[in-house]
Structure 1
Amino acid sequence: MNAGRQTTRRLAPRTGPSSICRSCRDTISRTYASAAAAAVRTEDQIAQHIPPVAQVSPSTSYAVNTGVVLSRPPQITRDLHPFEAAFFLYQRRLNERLALPFTRYFYFKKRTPADVEWKRKMRQRLTPARDIGRYKGYGEEAWNDELLVGADESNFEHQVGKLLEDAEQSGLEGAADTTGATKVDHEPVDKPMPRVTEADRQHDTKSLNRALQRTLYLLVKNKDGQWQFPQDRLKEENLHGAAKRIITHTGGVNMNTWLVGRVPIGHHQLDYPEPRPSGNLQEHGAKTFFMKARIMAGQVNLKENQLDLQDFKWLAKEELKNEVEGSYWRSVKNMLAER
């Protein structure tokens, strides 16, 4: 072949398997085989991590119930924590110590009725504040002004009693009148209602006049002997309408109640051991959606209830835990207020 001449060989196109050389065919075979194997491994890995989905028959269903969480809100302030009570007592005693260095004439003008009353009361109780203990700011025992552990002055009821006793005194006790008789006149004082009621002392769980500082919830015993919130099956109505009906069918018409909202505050699911027939369906359980309500006045009356209820109780959150089943408690505990 001459150097200046160029020759071009043209290959005729071929069809069929012989158009690819052996090395290319082997490479393509190995590539597709590897890709297919990787795809199979990926599907196997996914199948290992994702559990199979249970196929639910269209004929299965759950019964839908409406429950009512009927509560009575707190009527008085909460009980003080022991640390809070001790701190308030410390503040009051400290205020007395800081105020004593001032002469009483800083507060009362000489020979006025207020000054005379102050002198008489100081002679009677030997301390400016009767409810927080005696204190002598002058003398050898002035340093000894701490309350001992278990002292009555640290008790809240003792402090209230002493304040009422001080308010009832007119300042004339012990003074003789014109006839020579000793005066024991007392001024009328409006006393606060006790925080502990008779229902508390008797542990009457049917009374609304107990645990006044806590929220009480209505718990009823159904026909099967189980304690739960009032509930019934949902009929041709919405949840709000069903809740109104359940309240009336549970406690009668003489309860003044208020449904707080139209949205459920929680739900409880009960699975049956065996499916139960319901028409053309098989019910595998029941789902109860709870509506929140408040009682403003009145009381529960089960004499004419239409839900076959046997008994009722008004219970606080920790008391309710001991009456209901464990699974029921786990479903409703976050719906209840701590106080």
Structure 2
Amino acid sequence: MTASSRGSKAAASLIRSSRHPRVCSDCIKSISQTASLARSRPYSAAAAALKTDTRTITQPEIKQAPPVSSTSSEYITQAGVILSRPPILTRPQTAFEKAFFFYQKRLNERLALPFTRYFYFKKDTPADIDWKLKAKDRGGVAAKEIGDYQAYGAESWNDELLVGDKKSDPRSVREALLKDSEMRTIEGQKPSEVVEGIKVEKPLARVTEADRARDVKRLDRALDRTLYLAVKKEDGKWGFPAGSLVGRENLHQAAERVLVQTAGMNMNTWIVGHAPISHFIAHPWFDKDDSSKVKAPGQKTFFMKGRIMAGQADLKGNALGVKDFRWLTKQELAKVFHSNYYAQVKNALQDN
């Protein structure tokens, strides 16, 4: 007799002898059947004893699912583009910056070794003659834009400008450099016979024709500021280009499509990154009589950052019904945008 059959018989005898058994009648019957099987099939008794109960557990039936609150029908997800033209020029210097940079130039003259003319110019050459003429105009100073300051003279300690002195102004510095860049030669042995060379072309002014004409549709204006593309939509409100997502588009793909449908193909642009830099939420309008009924859905617009490298916006035949466009600075956007719209996007805009 195997160990399993002996154990089954012992368990059955204990159950029968117990005055108050704690096992139900079905379990007693199952153990008795297992013991009888062990006598006839001792090798399969162990496997039969390990079988689990195969009775199915019925789940409670839910006749009606509880309502799930969803706001998907109340809002429309949109992708927008904050397209910007970065500054082309550095911003104008403050009075402190002008004085500081000019002081650094004079300090450099005090710390540097004296200029050795014959190391750079061979004696009695046209370049040497030109150097003598220009150094004489500067009072013998090697530097071209620091005035008549002698770094190794008795007044070398006096290297700061007085109040109101224009030598630190960038325009004065530019004029001094342009004057020094003109090549001059001498005909014959007389220093008075000076032949003026070709005039050097001056750099363009910081203020362009578009600035003077106040043309807000041109990109060659406010060269030291960041310009943003603002469009006038069908409802007459100004904002950034935006449109609803189509199909399985992500924000990056939708932003590229919206920009083309709004401003045309005549622009070389770049959508920076795949994450939005700002968002705007317009809440839905509900029916006055039934507050649960949406009269006009709201909008959740996520703006992607974009850069324009070349080209210009062209609204001819645009698919989003845009009526007008402007290239505006941050301060100018505050004047044309709705206060609520501007308050939600202003932190994503550059002050410069």
Q: What TM-score does the superposition give when structure 1 sets the normalisation length?
A: 0.69
Q: Do the aligned partners of 2:81 and 2:240 also contact (CA within 8 Å) in 1?
A: yes
Q: 2:13 maps to which residue? A: none
Distance in 1 separating the partners of 2:330 and 2:184: 48
Deviations 1:186-209, CA, capped at 9 Å, x for gaps: 246465443332223333221111
Deviation at 1:110, TM superposition (A): 8.4
Q: 1:131 maps to which residue? A: 145
Q: 1:41 maps to which residue? A: none
Q: 1:184 maps to which residue? A: 195
2:87 to 54, 74, 83: 74
- Structure 1 vs Structure 2 CA RMSD: 3.6
CA separation of 1:213/1:90 partners in 2, compared to 1, >3 Å: closer, same or farther? same
Deviations 1:244-264, CA, capped at 9 Å, x for gaps: 221112111211222222322
Deviation at 1:275, TM superposition (A): 4.9
Deviations 1:279-308, CA, capped at 9 Å, x for gaps: x96545211111222212110112322222
- Is 2:237 the counterpart of 1:233? no
Q: Do the aligned partners of 2:280 and 2:344 also contact (CA within 8 Å) in 1?
A: yes
| Runs of 5+ unmatched residues, structure 1 | 1-54
CA separation of 1:98/1:275 partners in 2, compared to 1, >3 Å: closer, same or farther? same
Q: 1:203 maps to which residue? A: 214
Distance in 2 separating the partners of 1:59 and 1:240: 21
CA separation of 1:312/1:275 partners in 2, compared to 1, >3 Å: closer, same or farther? farther
CA separation of 1:64/1:301 partners in 2, compared to 1, >3 Å: closer, same or farther? same
CA separation of 1:110/1:226 partners in 2, compared to 1, >3 Å: closer, same or farther? closer
Q: Do the aligned partners of 1:164 and 1:191 also contact (CA within 8 Å) in 2?
A: yes
Q: Do the aligned partners of 1:59 and 1:281 also contact (CA within 8 Å) in 2?
A: no
Distance in 2 separating the partners of 1:275 and 1:67: 28
Q: 2:131 maps to which residue? A: 118
Higher relative contact order (CA 8 A, sep 6+): 1
1:161 to 170, 175, 179: 175
Identity value in percent:
47
CA separation of 1:103/1:298 partners in 2, compared to 1, >3 Å: closer, same or farther? closer
Q: Do the aligned partners of 2:83 and 2:308 also contact (CA within 8 Å) in 1?
A: yes
Deviation at 1:314, TM superposition (A): 1.0
Of the structure 1 ranges 134-143 and 122-131, higher mean CA displacement relative to structure 2 is found in: 134-143
Q: Do the aligned partners of 2:285 and 2:294 also contact (CA within 8 Å) in 1?
A: no
Residue type at the aligned position of 1:258: W
| Runs of 5+ unmatched residues, structure 2 | 1-67
Distance in 2 separating the partners of 1:90 and 1:142: 12
- Is 2:217 the counterpart of 1:214? no
Q: 2:74 maps to which residue? A: 61
CA separation of 1:103/1:223 partners in 2, compared to 1, >3 Å: closer, same or farther? closer
Of the structure 1 ranges 221-230 and 140-149, higher mean CA displacement relative to structure 2 is found in: 140-149
Residue type at the aligned position of 2:320: L
Q: What TM-score does the superposition give when structure 2 sets the normalisation length?
A: 0.66
CA separation of 1:70/1:237 partners in 2, compared to 1, >3 Å: closer, same or farther? farther
Q: Do the aligned partners of 2:85 and 2:308 also contact (CA within 8 Å) in 1?
A: yes
Deviations 1:149-202, CA, capped at 9 Å, x for gaps: 23221211221121011111x243xx4559999443324646544333222333
Secondary structure of the structure 1 residue equivalent to 2:314: coil
Q: Do the aligned partners of 2:110 and 2:152 also contact (CA within 8 Å) in 1?
A: no
Distance in 1 separating the partners of 2:131 and 2:154: 24
Distance in 2 separating the partners of 1:148 and 1:217: 41
Secondary structure of the structure 1 residue equivalent to 2:196: coil
1:252 to 260, 264, 276: 264
CA separation of 1:304/1:137 partners in 2, compared to 1, >3 Å: closer, same or farther? same
Distance in 1 separating the partners of 2:222 and 2:91: 10
Deviation at 1:140, TM superposition (A): 9.2
- Is 2:335 the counterpart of 1:322? yes
Rg (Cα) greater in structure = 2
Distance in 1 separating the partners of 2:78 and 2:223: 31
Deviation at 1:88, TM superposition (A): 1.0
Residue type at the aligned position of 1:94: L
Deviation at 1:90, TM superposition (A): 0.7
Deviation at 1:111, TM superposition (A): 3.8
Q: How does 1:8-19 map to 2 (within 5 A)?
A: none
Distance in 1 separating the partners of 2:177 and 2:72: 72
Q: 2:24 maps to which residue? A: none
